[in-house]
């Protein structure tokens, strides 16, 4: 039987409602989206950046291509459709790791640890935010492509098309499993906010990466 392929799909766009252009703001001398990409890829997992096909995102596209990243351009608001487009060459049992370009702490080591759980427990969907006790922003979602293809037959609301994950969570896929004991972080870290949603977040996160050697390789908990 063919071994399932894995692909990280990094979701990014320029037109963020709360902090316009945040994916291009510099952290550790790199645009945020490039820092996220390089950290996610640091264990050699294939990655595609999925961005909207709009004029607003043309500069983002140029930055990504300049950094030799694979890019898929699709719908602005139908992110569900964008994911299907970015994985159209994959097989039904292949595995998609969803990541977003506002969570720069997530790295390939973390992704591999979550992938191992996903594969060992033969899961169809796993949301780290829902399943583990981790700081906000240390998050990916892992799903088999066949699940996305099956769910596209549902009548999705505008909200579900844009946000994807809440719909998957509401379907209660694998929700009965208790996985919290498998990945945990010290209590002093659990209340940390490690995502970038506004300028306050940006300046705080930027300080974490200040003077960090090899910012694309260091594990998230060592940065903290």
Extents of the domains making up the chain: 6-223
Total Cβ atoms within 10 A of residue 109:
15
| Contact assessment for residue 104 and residue 35, using Cβ atoms and an 8 Å cutoff | yes
Q: Which two tokens stand for residue 189?
A: 């870290």
Determine the topology of domain 6-223 in CATH.
Answer: Spore Coat Polysaccharide Biosynthesis Protein SpsA; Chain A (3.90.550)
The pTM score is 0.92
Strand locations in the chain, DSSP E? 6-11, 26-27, 30-31, 47-52, 70-74, 95-100, 125-127, 141-144
Take residue 182 and report the two structure tokens written for it.
């498998």
Q: Is the pLDDT of residue 191 over 90?
A: no
Query: Which helix (H) or strand (E) segment is 64 a member of?
Result: helix 58-66
Average pLDDT rounded to a whole number, residues 200-207: 96
| Confidence at residue 70, expressed as pLDDT on a 0 to 100 scale | 98
- pLDDT value of residue 159: 84
Q: What is the CA radius of gyration of the chain?
A: 17
The pLDDT assigned to 151 comes to 82
């Amino acid at each position: 039987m063919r071994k399932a392929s894995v692909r990280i799909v990094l979701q990014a766009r320029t037109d963020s409602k709360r902090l316009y252009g945040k994916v291009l703001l510099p952290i550790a001398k790199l645009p945020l989206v490039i820092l996220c990409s390089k950290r996610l890829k640091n264990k050699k997992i294939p990655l595609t950046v999925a961005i909207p096909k709009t004029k607003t995102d043309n500069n983002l596209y140029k930055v990504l291509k300049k950094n030799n990243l694979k890019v898929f351009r699709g719908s602005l608001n139908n992110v569900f459709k964008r994911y299907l487009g970015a994985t159209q060459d994959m097989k039904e049992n292949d595995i998609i790791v969803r990541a977003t370009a506002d969570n720069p702490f997530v790295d390939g080591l973390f992704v591999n640890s979550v992938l191992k759980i996903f594969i060992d427990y033969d899961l169809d969907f796993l949301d780290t935010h829902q399943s583990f006790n981790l700081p906000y922003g240390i998050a990916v979602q892992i799903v088999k492509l066949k699940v996305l293809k099956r769910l596209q037959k549902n009548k999705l609301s505008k909200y579900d098309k844009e946000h994807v994950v809440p719909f998957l969570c509401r379907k209660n896929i694998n929700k009965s499993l208790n996985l919290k004991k498998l990945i945990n972080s010290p209590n002093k870290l659990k209340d940390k906010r490690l995502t970038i949603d506004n300028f306050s977040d940006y300046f705080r996160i930027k300080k974490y990466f200040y003077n960090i050697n090899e910012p694309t390789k260091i594990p998230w908990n060592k940065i903290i």
